[in-house]
């Protein structure tokens, strides 16, 4: 049933939203009549154009669950406490994580897409992190990429198709980061797969193998399939093997760079 609902939404029609709007329209008309009756002969406000908002009454006040909510706050607090000299972000959500950091510090943002708005504390640079400018080597002492690397090379954001795009991005991020610098990283975790062209999902084992050559793991936290955060988890053989029971979770890694990239690295990217 869920698959059918997802397919219908993909085609541009949301049955739940439609039904809620029908319910909301009835309430809207009833409330409008009541409000005009209450107005009586008062002329303080006139009724302008109709602007029905029919679905909000059936929604929650907000959400304090999920990948983005937890990772943005969790990593934001870590960077606040660490207070690095220069922090760079690669592809994370501008109206979430990046805006959190811009409240208390300057941040440089690299993304393949354009950003036309200007905010004093956000220094934006349009870059393709699958291809690195040599001037960026050893550029900063702190870098983040939250829920972004899984998209690299899948064309979703206009980037070139590259099966090894995620590896090239991680390799280049490692080059950008100074020795002993900190890398804050998150991606979807679960059974390893590509769901083209939305994203990749990574196994924990695969990610640890990628990072072991150049980084030490400071901490690992994750958001489970229900959207709840679990902080500072010890990675045992068992929970590495079963990806902490996640099908669509979010692994949050805090890593310290201990070795420079040598040669092609990362399994000899073509």
The pLDDT tens digits for 96-145 are 999 999 999 999 999 999 988 888 999 999 999 999 988 999 999 999 99
Checking if the pLDDT of 227 tops 80, the result is: yes
Q: What's the whole-number mean pLDDT along residues 30-55? A: 92
pLDDT in tens, 195-215: 999 999 999 999 999 999 999
Residue 239 CA to residue 105 CA, distance in Å, equals: 36
Residue 91 pLDDT class (50, 70, 90 cuts): very high
- Give 61 or 135, the one with higher predicted confidence: 135
At 55, the pLDDT band (50, 70, 90 cuts) reads confident
Alpha-carbon distance 221 to 216, whole Å?
15
Q: What is the pLDDT of residue 188?
A: 98
**Contacting residues for 43 by C-beta, under 8 A, at least 6 apart:** none
Tokens of 199: 């994203």
- For 147-160, what is the mean pLDDT? 95
Q: What does the pLDDT read at residue 225?
A: 97
Distance in angstroms (rounded) separating the CA atoms of residues 151 and 93: 13
For residues 152 and 165, the answer to whether their CB atoms sit within 8 Å is: yes
Task: Please tell me which residue, 44 or 15, carries the higher pLDDT value.
Answer: 44
Q: What was the pLDDT predicted at 156?
A: 93
Report residue 220 as tokens: 């690992």
* DSSP label of 224: -
The pLDDT assigned to 56 comes to: 86
Give the predicted TM-score (pTM) of the model: 0.88
Answer yes or no: is pLDDT of 2 > 60.
no
**CA pseudo-torsion sign 172, 176, 180, 182:** negative
Three-state secondary structure of 93-112: CHHHHHHHHHCCCCEEEEEC
**Which residues does 168 contact at the CB level (< 8 Å), separation at least 6?**
129, 130, 131, 152, 153, 162, 266, 269
Region 44-54 average pLDDT: 91
**What's the rounded mean pLDDT across residues 65-82?**
96
Does residue 264 carry a pLDDT above 60? Answer: no
- pLDDT, one tens digit per residue, over 165-179 is 999 999 999 999 999
CA distances from 34 to 27, 31, 37, 58 (A): 11, 5, 5, 20
Query: What's the Cα-to-Cα distance from 38 to each of 34, 53, 54, 230, rounded to whole Å?
Result: 6, 20, 21, 51
pLDDT at position 48 over 70 = yes
Q: Are 142 and 79 in contact (CB under 8 A)?
A: yes
Task: Identify the CATH homologous superfamily for domain 67-257.
Answer: Vaccinia Virus protein VP39 (3.40.50.150)
Q: Is the per-residue pLDDT at 266 higher than 80? A: no
Q: Residue 173: which H helix or E strand, with range? A: helix 165-176
């Amino acid at each position: 049933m869920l698959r059918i609902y997802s397919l219908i939404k993909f085609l541009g029609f949301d049955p739940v939203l439609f039904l809620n709007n029908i319910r909301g329209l009835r309430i809207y008309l009833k409330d409008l009549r009541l409000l005009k009756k209450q107005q009586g002969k008062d002329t303080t406000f006139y009724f302008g154009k109709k602007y029905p908002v029919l679905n909000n009454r059936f929604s929650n006040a907000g959400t304090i669950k999920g990948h983005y909510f937890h990772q943005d706050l969790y990593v934001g607090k870590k960077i606040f406490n660490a207070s690095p000299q220069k922090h760079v972000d690669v592809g994370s959500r501008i109206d979430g994580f990046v805006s959190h950091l811009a409240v208390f510090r300057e941040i440089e943002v690299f993304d393949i897409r354009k950003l036309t708005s200007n905010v004093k504390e956000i220094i934006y640079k349009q870059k393709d992190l699958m291809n690195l400018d040599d001037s960026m080597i050893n550029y900063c002492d702190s870098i983040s990429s939250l829920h972004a690397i899984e998209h690299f090379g899948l064309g979703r954001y206009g980037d070139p198709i590259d099966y090894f795009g995620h590896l090239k991005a991680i390799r280049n991020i490692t080059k950008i980061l100074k020795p002993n610098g900190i890398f804050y990283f998150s991606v979807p975790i679960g059974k390893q797969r590509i769901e083209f062209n939305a994203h990749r999902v990574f196994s924990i084992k695969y990610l640890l193998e990628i990072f072991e050559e150049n980084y030490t793991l400071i901490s690992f936290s994750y958001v489970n399939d229900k959207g709840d955060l679990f902080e500072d988890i010890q990675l045992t053989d068992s929970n590495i093997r079963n990806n902490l029971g996640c099908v669509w979770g979010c692994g949050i890694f805090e890593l310290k760079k201990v070795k420079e990239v040598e040669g092609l690295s990362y399994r000899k990217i073509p």
